[in-house]
Amino acid sequence: MVSWLEELDRREAAAREGIAELWSQIEELTRRLADRETVLSRLEITRETMTEILSGEGAVTVSVDGAAGEVPVSVEGSRAGSPVGVRLVPQWEPGVEADVLPRSYRDVVEVLQDAVRPMRAHHLCAALGLSTDKNKVEGFRSKLKRLVERGWLAEDEPGLFAWGGARRAGAGAPEREAAADERRRAGVGPGSRP
């Protein structure tokens, strides 16, 4: 005859196994969801790109490297004399709203416009409902760097991204900027590391 302690141990072990199996399934589903979201994001960008190309508005530009700037590219099969056009991330200028950006970039800018302080890439991924896996965050960081290059975001400290438009337009409060600089020097605040 089995004692009640042995039966309790058996049931606890079975419950632990069930929990471990469920966590494993959750991790697998989370990974699959992140993969599907990546595919969807690429498809959305492709749709936006093809819509712009087929509309024939603007000139196609490709960023070759930071020093070389942008190079016009022609696309075979385009209408004669008609510029074919895509520039996924235009340069930020005062008065230009985030709605000119592709959805995935616009979402990033809108989150940072609403943010109280600069954010790190993994926090932005979490805020946008994206995967926070290291590989995904590194890919996302390149998107943030592109937005910095084009003037939409600022990276005052390595890895801390903030909306850059208000600063350049003079909309940021100088007192708040001075206080943030003071906290950084003192090692306190969002940019400090213990």
- Span 27-65, pLDDT tens digits: 999 999 999 999 999 998 888 888 878 765 544 554 444
Closest CA to 152 of 131, 173, 169: 169
pTM above 0.85, yes or no: no
The 3-state DSSP composition of the chain as helix, strand, coil percent (nearest 5) reads 55, 10, 35
pLDDT digits (tens, 9 = 90+) for 172-194: 444 444 545 555 555 554 444 44
Q: Closest by alpha carbon to 60, among 78, 47, 40? A: 78
Answer for the pair 154, 108: CB distance below 8 angstroms, yes or no.
Answer: no
Q: Is the pLDDT of residue 20 over 70?
A: yes
Q: 1 Cβ partners below 8 Å, 6+ apart?
A: none
Q: Phi and psi at residue 112, in whole multiples of 5°?
A: -75, -25
Q: What integer pLDDT is reported at residue 53 of this predicted model?
A: 80
